[in-house]
Chain A
Amino acid sequence: DAGITQSPRHKVTETGTPVTLRCHQTENHRYMYWYRQDPGHGLRLIHYSYGVKDTDKGEVSDGYSVSRSKTEDFLLTLESATSSQTSVYFCAITPVGGYNEQFFGPGTRLTVL
């Protein structure tokens, strides 16, 4: 998984509660991404980061915020989880150079009841 870990790997939470997912990488990659994957949809970009404290919105950013205070960690926060945010969340990184190759973490399965 390209030196990427995600935590937690599984989480069940209730509607209205805050949730933070963590993506950790060990190889100093500059670019990091958060995606969600739902049945019948391709992976959709939520937010991405191009450096410490540098982030931008993706296609489906409503209801999500991110933070990157150090190179190795990219946090995804659901301020008030809703059932529509039940999904599998993937973190990805891009090594320097090449065709913007993206390597994915193992995923976090989030269920919002």
Chain B
Amino acid sequence: KNQVEQSPQSLIILEGKNCTLQCNYTVSPFSNLRWYKQDTGRGPVSLTIMTFSENTKSNGRYTATLDADTKQSSLHITASQLSDSASYICVVGPMDSSYKLIFGSGTRLLVRP
């Protein structure tokens, strides 16, 4: 069964620190992998999209990496800010059904002053 697993489930860090969120997936073959940020009470917002042939993609202080061989992705947040407090969701788009995305359950990040 196609699955997307994220770790940790939740994370607390101090403002200004870096952190890395992990995503493991079993979807194969896959077309692309995305990371979304979801603020409390809002819909998810896309941070990065990588195709299966890309290794890294940055969006400001957010950097996503992808290892298609090990089926792992990570999202690295640099110099965290209070506004980074949110859930971060890893999403995989299967090759054979690009509209039926597979979502992880997210990592809830809390950045404390």
Contact = CB atoms under 8 A, between A and B. Distances in A.
Interface of A: 1, 31, 33, 40-45, 48, 50, 58-59, 90, 92, 94, 99-107
Contact of A107 (B34, B42, B49, B105): B42
B106 A105 contact: no
Top-8 shortest CB links A-B: A42-B103, A104-B43, A43-B103, A100-B98, A99-B32, A42-B105, A104-B44, A99-B49
Nearest to A33: B99
B102 interface: yes
22 contacts: A1-B43, A31-B99, A33-B99, A40-B105, A41-B105, A42-B91, A42-B102, A42-B103, A42-B106, A44-B103, A48-B99, A48-B100, A58-B100, A90-B44, A99-B34, A99-B93, A99-B98, A100-B93, A100-B101, A102-B46, A102-B101, A104-B44
Contacts of B100: 45, 48, 58-59
Interface of B: 4, 31-32, 34, 41-46, 49, 51, 89, 91, 93, 98-106
Contacts of A58: 100
